[in-house]
Structure 1
Amino acid sequence: MEGLGHIFPQETHPFPRADILDRWAVELADPSIAVYVSCDQHDRITGFAARRGDEVFHFGTAVDTWGSGLAAYLHDALLATFPSTLETLRLRVFTENARARRFYEKLGWHPTGRQTRTAFPPHPPLTEYILTRR
C-alpha cells in the first residue's frame, strides 16, 4: 500500500490486504458504522471514510489525488456527518505516517499522547488524535 511501505515492510510484513478486506466486510455490515465513498466522473473510487460514534475509523484518498485538495474537502464533508452535539472527535493514525499526521494537524487535530498498536504484524503503533469543535 502506497505511503505505508515503511510501516509494513513488504519483505517481512507486507500490508495485510486480505485481512483488511475481511475487516471491511464486517464493518460494512455493522449498522453502527457509517461508510462513505467518493467517486470521480468515471465512477472510479477517489476516497473513502468510515465513522462510528465520535471516531473517524478510516479515511483515505487515491494516491493520484494526493496534493489536489480532495482530502481536505472530503475531511470537511465527513466532519459534517457527525452530530453537531459531539464537541470532541477522535481518530488514530499510524505514528510513523508523517504525511497523515501533518494532514490532520493542519486541519486542527491534536495528538493526545495515547498510543495503541494495530492488530496486524509488525503491530505498528497508532497515535490518537482529537479535534475539538466549537
Structure 2
Amino acid sequence: MREMTPADVPAVIEVQEPGAVRALAGVFAQDQHPFPREAIAARWLREIDLPGTDCFVVMHEDVVAGFVATRGDELLHFGIAVGHWGTGLATFAHYAVLGLLREHGVARARLRVFTGNGRARRFYEKHAWRPTGERSRSSFAPHPELLGYDLPL
C-alpha cells in the first residue's frame, strides 16, 4: 500500500466501479442508480486533501489493485479489483490497514457496510468484525441501509 495521490483517482475509479456494480447489484440497480463515477471521483479528491483522512492505493505488480481510506478509528472505504477477488490480496490489505490504525493509537476500529452487500459482510465477519446494531443510510440514492461493525485492535 502507498498513499493515494490525485493522479491515482482515475485508476481507483477503474478498480472501484466494477466491484461496486457487481457486489452492490441488489443495492443499487444499475438501470436506476448507475455507479456515480464523477461524484465518487470528486469525493476521493476531497478526501485525499481532507485533514485526518488517510487514503491509500493497494498495489499489485506496480498496478493499482485496490483502495483504502480511513478517518480516525473508521475504515471509510475498502475495495479490491474484481480480478483479485479470492486471491488473498484483500486479506493482506485489510491486515495492513489495521496495522496503520494500531500505529495511530486506535484501540477499536469501526466501519459501515451496506446491509445488502453480503460479500463484504462475510469478509468482515470472517476477519472478526462484529455488528454493533448501529444503522444509518447512504447519502447516495436510493439511500440504502448501512450496518455498523467494530473490531477490537
Richer in helix (by share): 2
Distance in structure 1 (CA, Å) of the matches to 2:152 and 2:102 = 13
Distance in structure 1 (CA, Å) of the matches to 2:30 and 2:151 = 33
Secondary structure of 1:99's aligned partner? helix
Where does residue 121 of structure 2 map in the other structure?
Answer: 101
Q: Is the aligned partner of 1:81 residue 2:112?
A: no
- Give the counterpart letter for 1:128 in structure 2: G
Secondary structure of 2:90's aligned partner? helix
Where does residue 59 of structure 1 map in the other structure?
Answer: 78
1:47-75: CA deviations, max 9, x gaps?
A: 11010100001100000000001101100
Distance in structure 2 (CA, Å) of the matches to 1:107 and 1:13 = 30
| Identity value in percent | 47
List alignment gaps of at least 5 residues for structure 2.
1-20
- Give the counterpart letter for 1:64 in structure 2: G
1:7-26 matches, cutoff 5 A: 7-26=27-46
Structure 1 residue 31: deviation in Å? 2.5
Q: Is the aligned partner of 1:132 residue 2:152?
A: yes
With the length of structure 1 as denominator, give the TM-score of the two structures.
0.93
Secondary structure of 2:67's aligned partner? strand
1:104-132: CA deviations, max 9, x gaps?
A: 00000000111111111011111010001
List alignment gaps of at least 5 residues for structure 1.
none
Secondary structure of 1:121's aligned partner? coil
Distance in structure 2 (CA, Å) of the matches to 1:45 and 1:12 = 29
